[in-house]
Structure 1
């Protein structure tokens, strides 16, 4: 069972942004920048392209309002998207507010944010989703 499956099961707390019966979006607790969100399917599949076609297409449709909210909540040119899939063997899509292509550079150091800072970021995105 992956750490993401434990988050889905509620065994590990998360900063949820959106959820339905097939997907979950939550803050990356070690983000590249403020507003970094992970979108995962609720089925444990290691590789994005091993998802069946319905999950593969629906993950982007699910991510779209989250990405739009990130763009509203943070000063950025757009919400970038990346699929790396190395650190956790559970398909996940990174949604990251970016101003340059280098903002998607995963070799850079990650932020170490406090629980209070993460809660503030969560609230900013959730508020932007309501608008």
Structure 2
């Protein structure tokens, strides 16, 4: 059975896409910690990020860097934090989170409630900064 991320990549479930290439897909986290919280996933359905080949893991981080730099342009912040947790969905993924301070990366923080219009504007701002 396909993961929710595979279904998003296939267009079966809507998302707020930020970027994609032949191997990776970036979209906004639907339960963001802060505005600009983005997920990077490989199109290959694989559960554990370190099960990716060395080449694919390196390529994923190069793609992630491009998206992170675009997030930083769209949402000025001190840094864009990167987190790999991978327990909530059995599909490798990287969280990119604009940070003003370290507490912005706490997954126990309350999640933002954003409108569809806000998500659309955020995705467009990041995409335009690529």
1:8-47 mapped onto 2 (5 Å cutoff): 8-47=9-48
TM-score (norm 2): 0.96
Aligned match of 2:124: 123
1:31-110 mapped onto 2 (5 Å cutoff): 31-110=32-111
Deviation at 1:113, TM superposition (A): 1.0
**Separation of aligned partners in 2, 1:36 and 1:60:** 16
**Separation of aligned partners in 2, 1:127 and 1:10:** 21
What is the aligned residue count?
129
Deviation at 1:41, TM superposition (A): 0.2
Deviation at 1:107, TM superposition (A): 1.0
**Separation of aligned partners in 2, 1:111 and 1:80:** 17
CA deviation vs aligned residue, 1:7-48 (integer Å, no higher than 9, x gap): 111101111111111100011111000000100000111111
RMSD between superposed Cα atoms in Å? 0.9
Deviation at 1:75, TM superposition (A): 2.6
**Separation of aligned partners in 2, 1:14 and 1:33:** 17
TM-score (norm 1): 0.95
Give structure 1 regions of 4+ aligned residues with deviation exceeding 4 angstroms.
none
**Separation of aligned partners in 2, 1:93 and 1:8:** 15
The answer for unaligned runs of 5 or more in structure 2 is none
CA deviation vs aligned residue, 1:73-104 (integer Å, no higher than 9, x gap): 11310111000101101000001100111111
Secondary structure at the counterpart of residue 129 of structure 2 = helix
